[in-house]
Structure 1
Amino acid sequence: MADATEAAPRASRAGRNLPAAIAVGVGLLVAVGASLAFRPEPFVGVVAIAVCAGLWELRAAFARRDITVPIWPLLVGGVGMVVSAHVGGPEALLVAYVLTLGAAALWRVLDGPGPQALRDTAAALFAATYVPFLAGFVVLLLGQADGNWRVAVFILLGVANDTGGFVAGVLFGRHPLAPTVSPKKSWEGLAGSLVLTTLVGLLGSHWVLNLPFLPQEGTAVLGSSLVLGLVLGVMTAVTATVGDLAESLLKRDLDLKDMGSLLPGHGGVLDRVDSLLMTAPFVYLVLSVAASGPAA
C-alpha cells in the first residue's frame, strides 16, 4: 500500500503517461538510428516529414487565434530547405529560406491585404524560421565528415537533456525555474540536464572526433574532448531549456497543453523536437569549429 501511495505522486509530478512516453521515445530513437545507418537520404526524409508535421501543428495552433498560416508554400518551402541543406550546404539553405519567406508572404497578400494579412504573414515567417530553417542545421550537420555519427551525438545530447531534467526534476525538483511559463520545470531539473548532457558531450566528442582528452599546447581551443565536451554539454542544457520554455510560452499564449497528439506521452512533434530545434545551430557551429582543428 505504501508503494502505491508513493508511486501516485511521482506519476502526477511526471505529468505524462510514462510507459507510453518511454515506448514512443525508444521507437523514435530506433527509427532515427535506422535512418542514419547506411545512407543519408533516409534521415533527410525523416527530417522532412518531421518538418511538415511541425508546420501542420503550428497551422492548427495559430488557427485558435484566428491566424491563417499559408500552409502550402510553407510545406513546399520547408521540404525545399531540408533538401537544399543536404544538396547545397549552408548557402542553399539560406536561399531556400528566403524564397520560402517570399512565397509565403506573396501567397497570403494575394488573398487580400490589410491588418489580418500582416498578422498571417508574420506567423508564416515565424513558422518558416522556427521549424524548417532551424531543422536545416541538423541536415547540415549530417553533411560534415562522419556526419551520421555527429547527428547521433546531437540527438543523444537532446535525449540526455530531457532524461536528466526529467529524472532530477521528478526526484528532487523543489525550486521552480520559470513558474509562470512552465510550472513543472525546476532548477534541480536543469542541474540534472547539465550533468547528463556534459557526460554525453565528453564521451561523444572523444568518440566521434577522436580528440585527445586534455588540451595540447598549440592546438585549437576546442581541440580536446574535455573542452569540447564541456562546451557541448553546457550549451545544450542552456539552449534546449530555452527552446522548451519558448515553446511553453507559445502554448500558453495559444491556450494549448500540447501542440498535437501524434506522439502518445509526448504530445505533438513540436513538443518532442522543440529543444532540438533551438540547439541544432549551436551544435553545428561548435562542431564545425572543432572539425577545422588539427584533429579533423
Structure 2
Amino acid sequence: MAQGGGSGALVKRVFAAFFLIPAIVFVVVYTAPFWVFASASGLVYLALVEYNNLSPLPARRPAGDKLGVIVGLAMPAVFFFLGKDAVLPVLIAAVVIFFLYGMWGMWSGLEFRDASMEVAFRTLGVIYIAVPLSYFIFLRAVPDGRWWILFILVVVWANDTFAYVVGKTLGRHKLAPRISPGKTIEGAAGGLVAGVAAALICNGAMGLGAGMLLIAAIAIKVGVLGIIGDLAESLLKRGAGVKDSGSLIPGHGGVLDRIDSLIFPVPVLFYILVYYIQA
C-alpha cells in the first residue's frame, strides 16, 4: 500500500474509493464469473506494466517488457479456460520461454549476468503477480465464491486503512525501516485487529458459516500475508528508487500499490476454503 502524507492525500484516497468501491462490489457480486476473469486480466496487465517500470535490469529491453506482459496475461486465461490441471505445465512453459529469451539475448551480445538477471526478473513477474491475481478466478468458482472475494477485499481494506490511520496517529516503532520507513509495528497491530473485526462482521453479514475462531485465524493469516506483500512491493520500489509504482489511482499511487496486500492472501484463502472449510 502506498504511503501518502497529509490531509490532501487522505482526501484523494476517499475520493478515489468513492468511485472504485461500488464498481468493484458490482463486478464481484452481481456479474458472471467471466467478468472476474476480465477484471483479473486487467489487473495483471496494469500491475505487470508497473512492475516493468520497477526493473533493476542494467540492460532493460522493450521486447522483454512486452514478453513478460504477454506471458503474464496467459495465466488468467489458463485459470479460466483450462482449470487447475493446466496451471503447472503452463507455468513451466513460461519459465522455458524466458530462458529461451535469455539465451537469445546472449546470442545477440548480452552479457551472461544481464541475461540471467532478465530471466529471473521476468519469471518473478509471472510468479509474484500473474499467478496470485489469477486465483481470484478460482476463488469465484468455489461455493459462495463471490462473497469470499468480497470478504477478502473488505478484510484487506480494513487492515490497510487502520494500519495507515493507527500508524500515523500512534506509530512509534518502525516495522521495517530499511524497506518501508513509514510502516510501524503499532500500525500493523491496529490493522490486524481491524481485519479480524471486519472478518467477523462479514462472516455474519454474508452468511459464510465459518466458526468465529476459524474466521479470526483466517483474518490474521490474511493480514500477516498482506503485510508481507506490502513489504515485498516496497522492496521493489526501494530498489527502483521510487515512492509509488505508478500514479493511476489518485491518493493511492499505482495499481500495484493498491493490490500489493492482496497478492499473497488470495491463493492462501482459496486453499483454506478447498481443504478446510469446503472439503
Does TM-score exceed 0.5, indicating one fold?
A: yes
Alignment of 1:58-77 (within 5 A): 58-62=51-55, 65-68=58-61, 70-77=64-71
Alignment correspondent of 2:99: 105
Structure 2 residue 32 is matched with structure 1 residue 46: no
Cα shift readout 1:180-234 (whole Å, capped 9, x = no counterpart) = 21111111111111111101222333444542xxxxxxxxxxxx42122111211
In the TM superposition, what is the alpha-carbon distance from 1:248 to its structure 2 partner? 1.0
Q: 2:189 & 2:228 partners in 1: Cα distance?
A: 14
Which of 23, 36, 42 is matched with 2:15 structurally? 23
User: When the two structures are aligned, how many residues end up with a matched partner?
Assistant: 271
Cα distance per residue 1:145-189 (max 9 Å; x no partner): 121111111111111111111111122112211122111111111
C-alpha change, 1:150 and 1:192, in structure 2 (3 Å) is same
Q: Distance in 2 between matches of 1:74 and 1:117?
A: 14
1:135 is matched with which residue?
Answer: 133
Separation of aligned partners in 1, 2:200 and 2:157: 15
Match for 2:123 among 102, 122, 125? 125
Q: Distance in 2 between matches of 1:210 and 1:275?
A: 22
1:237-248 aligned within 5 A: 237-248=223-234
The code of the aligned residue for 2:128 comes to Y
Matched, 1:85 2:79: yes
DSSP 3-state at the match of 1:174: coil
Q: Paired residue for 1:262?
A: 248
CA distance change for structure 1 residues 118 and 186 in 2, over 3 Å: closer, same or farther? same
Q: Given the two structures, how large is their TM-score scaled by the length of structure 1?
A: 0.84
Could you tell me how far apart the structure 2 residues matched to 1:27 and 1:175 are?
34
| In structure 2, C-alpha distance between the alignment counterparts of 1:164 and 1:32, rounded to whole Å | 20
In 2, distance between residues paired with 1:209 and 1:287? 15
Residue identity (%) = 27
Structure 1 residue 16: deviation in Å? 6.8
Deviates most, 226-235 or 284-293: 284-293
Is structure 2 residue 272 aligned with structure 1 residue 286? Answer: yes
Q: Over the residues paired in the alignment, what is the CA RMSD in angstroms? A: 2.2
Greater alpha carbon shift after TM alignment, 112-121 vs 143-152? 112-121
Amino acid at match of 1:171: T
Map of 1:183 onto structure 2:
181
Give 3-state SS (helix, strand or coil) of 1:183's partner.
strand
Segments of 5+ residues of structure 2 without an aligned counterpart are none
- Paired letter, 2:211: S
Q: Please say if residues 67 and 123 of structure 1, whose CA atoms lie closer than 8 Å, have aligned partners that are also in contact.
A: no
Q: Deviations over 1:71-112 (max 9, x none)?
A: 333222222211221233322232332222222332332233
Question: Which residue, 10, 17, 35 being the options, matches 2:27?
Answer: 35
Larger relative contact order (Cα-Cα within 8 Å, sequence gap ≥ 6): 2
Structure having the higher Rg: 1
Taking a change above 3 Å as real, the CA distance of residues 226 and 31 of structure 1, as seen in their structure-2 partners, is same
What SS does structure 2 have at the residue aligned with 1:276? coil
Contact 1:32/1:43 (8 A) holds in 2 = no
Tell me which amino acid in the other structure corresponds to 1:120: E
* Inter-CA distance 146–87: structure 2 relative to 1 (3 Å threshold): farther
Cα pair distance change 1:25/1:101, threshold 3 Å: farther
Residues 227-281 of structure 1: CA deviation (Å, up to 9, x unaligned): 2211121111111111111111221122111111111211111111111002112
Match of 2:236 in 1: 250
Is the contact made by 2:36 and 2:136 (CA closer than 8 Å) also made in structure 1? Answer: no
Q: Specify whether residues 260 and 87 from structure 1 end up closer, same or farther in structure 2 by C-alpha distance, changes over 3 A only.
A: same
- Under a length normalisation based on structure 2, what TM-score does the superposition of the two structures give? 0.89
Contact 1:202/1:225 (<8 A) preserved: no
User: Residue 111 of structure 1: SS of its match in structure 2?
Assistant: helix
Partner of 1:219: none
Match of 2:194 among 178, 191, 196: 196
Q: Structure 1 residues 208 and 91 mapped into 2: Cα distance closer, same or farther (>3 Å)?
A: farther
